[in-house]
Amino acid sequence: MLVPRGGEPLWSDFEDTCRGPVAWDLACLRRHSSAFGDRALEVYGAPVDEGQIDLCMRARDLEVTVWTCLLARQRPYLTERVEARLSVYRNS
């Protein structure tokens, strides 16, 4: 995904390019499995700001929400999941 940054596009699929912040990878692992993500943080060895991980987890949730919305156009069975994901943002 490309996002604007300082007037220039920035590639944001960090897990594919291996160039993003460690917090992004750890957040994705933690979102997938809390125990697995916590273990990954433990063995990483360097300190990582929990606030950064939390921010990346929220960004990942938003990314998944957007993808789910796009996929639901072709896969109507995802409509209920889209509504559930969007309700988080509507109610905040």
As for how many domains the chain has, the answer is 1
The predicted-structure confidence for 18-71, as pLDDT tens digits, reads as follows: 667 788 888 887 777 666 667 777 777 777 888 998 999 899 889 889 999 999
The predicted-structure confidence for 5-14, as pLDDT tens digits, reads as follows: 777 766 555 5
Is residue 19 a contact partner of residue 31, using CB atoms and an 8 Å limit? no
- Side chain identity, residue 86: L
> Domain limits at 14?
2-90
What is the pTM assigned to this prediction?
A: 0.66
Instruction: Looking at 1-92, list the stretches that DSSP marks H as alpha helix, in order from N- to C-terminal side.
Output: 14-17, 22-32, 34-44, 50-72, 79-90
Is residue 46 a contact partner of residue 21, using CB atoms and an 8 Å limit? no
- Provide the mean pLDDT of the chain: 79
The predicted-structure confidence for 59-92, as pLDDT tens digits, reads as follows: 988 988 999 999 999 999 999 999 998 998 887 7
